[in-house]
Amino acid sequence: MAAVPFTAGTSVDSQEALELAAETLPRLLLDYLEGSGNRVMEDDEIKNRVLFSLMTERQELFSQLSSELRNRDAIMFNSSTSIEKRKQKKESVARIEELQKKIRTNLAKATDPLGIDETVKKKDLPVGQKVAYISPLRPGDKLSLVTWRNDSSLFFDKKNEDETEFDYEQRVVNAGISALISGSVSERAGFLRATVSLSVYPGGEIAATVSDVGSLSDLPSLAELLGQALYPAVINSKPVRLRFEINPPEAAKVAKIYVDGISMISDDQDLQSGVHDITIDAAGFKSKEFSYDFYGEEEFLVRVTMREDERMKVFLDSTTTSSGQFYLNAIPVENAAEASLSYGTAIGEFESVEGYNDYFLLENNNPQRMQGPFQLQKINVRASTSDISAEIEKSRKTMYNSYAALMLSMPLLFFSNGTQIAAQNAYLYGMSDVKRSQKWMQVRQFSNALSITLGLNFAFQLGRYLLKANSILPQEIVVSE
């Protein structure tokens, strides 16, 4: 993708700000669209790419053919011998026939741009590929959205007055640009109206034109509005219809369907093609969540079979006399004496009135349907009686201090050991008395004992800190018969 500076109208009060907006707005649009998805290729767009490539090839072949014809005609006027002239003419005719053959092959390809390239031999194809297509792209392939030269601040030059549409298109395509954003802006009393067009190359066809109004002082918001309106055309998204068929009928009656987090009003939904997140909830049944790339068809039938939610009732109680509120999967439990627990694992929390929290995991390995009898089990949940985070922080500081003390003892340890060894060697060679060696032996023993003591203390404090830190991990409680 690339953009050209927008055309700025006239403004009585803010001409300079308007011209600045004409340069800033396209850059903001490119920033908004870059990396936001993939463009889906269709037949017509791929055909235009192939036809443009073939046309460029034909022009080059025609230029080579014209040059070769001139060379052939000039052979009779050179100073070569008759034998050499005949040889040169024969070689030139062969080159001319080869160019004519290439042009005929090119024209044949142009009649069926998406067809099979019969000129490519099977042995030259990649492993597993049986036929060679003229275009490396096929309908349904996707191209990533990236800015020209990976820099949204760069503008592509506008069309020159003396430049033909063909020459301009050639310049755009040669620059590697497939989509070009252009537009115009006008200002009235501090508000900006922007009209933006998206042109697709090769072909230069305008895929979409959008217009909106925003504040001159808030260009990012206006760029976001324009980007949202332009986005379906950029990714070439086509509307599709979703129809849902939910079983069993009991689930269909109470089912709520959410598409990308938005509740559907009916079982039929029109939306842009592409990847969508589907969530189906039904009271008494397990929720269904999935994502799917809805592309290639105008209508999709989504069949979903809901499974009855297997639950049991449990009695939640804390191990302390402190009262508080229980939560299961972030939902407050109204009656802790008869909490409803789904089959599987649930994340629980106990919040005491003093403001202390404790977390736990409830794993239900005893599935029972809601219609059946419930086995009431009492689940004891520990409750924190102190601020665990403060204790962890205190333990962490003590551990760091013990480590610092151990490191500070290292210089004395190394120095005393080295000096004692030197003193002992000096005594053995008669260069010092025994008292000096004994003195440094005592210092060495003291430093060794000190470092060992501090090392043991650090190991103890580290273990104590890890135990404190692990104390905030949720306790796992298995609910079974």
- The secondary element (H helix, E strand) that includes residue 332 is strand 331-332
Q: What pLDDT, on the 0 to 100 scale, is given for residue 358? A: 74
Q: Are 71 and 90 in contact (CB under 8 A)?
A: no
> Which one, of 154, 180, 151, 152, lies nearest residue 165 by Cα?
180
Question: How many Å apart are CA 475 and CA 478, to the nearest integer?
Answer: 10
Q: Above 80 in pLDDT, residue 427?
A: yes
Topology of domain 239-305, CATH: Immunoglobulin-like (2.60.40)
Q: Are 222 and 192 in contact (CB under 8 A)?
A: yes
Chain segment 358-417, per-residue pLDDT in tens: 777 777 666 544 333 344 445 555 555 456 777 888 899 999 999 999 999 999 999 999
Chain segment 37-94, per-residue pLDDT in tens: 788 888 889 999 999 999 999 999 999 999 999 999 888 888 788 888 889 999 999 9
Token pair recorded at residue 187: 């200002």
Pairwise pLDDT comparison (446 vs 122), residue with the higher score: 446
226 SS3 class: helix
Q: Cα–Cα distances in Å, from 44 out to 63, 175, 222?
A: 28, 21, 32
Cα 351 to chain centroid, rounded = 37
Strands 344-352 and 357-364: antiparallel
Domain 2-41+140-234 in CATH 3.40.50? The answer is yes
Chain segment 259-298, per-residue pLDDT in tens: 888 888 777 878 877 788 999 988 878 889 999 888 777 8
Q: Cα–Cα distances in Å, from 77 out to 50, 64, 66, 87, 380?
A: 42, 21, 18, 14, 109
Token pair recorded at residue 351: 């919040």
**Residue by residue, what is the 3-state secondary structure of 408-440?**
HHHHHHHHHHHHHHHHHHHHHCCCCCHHHHHHH
281 SS3 class: strand
Question: How many Å apart are CA 138 and CA 291, to the nearest integer?
Answer: 24
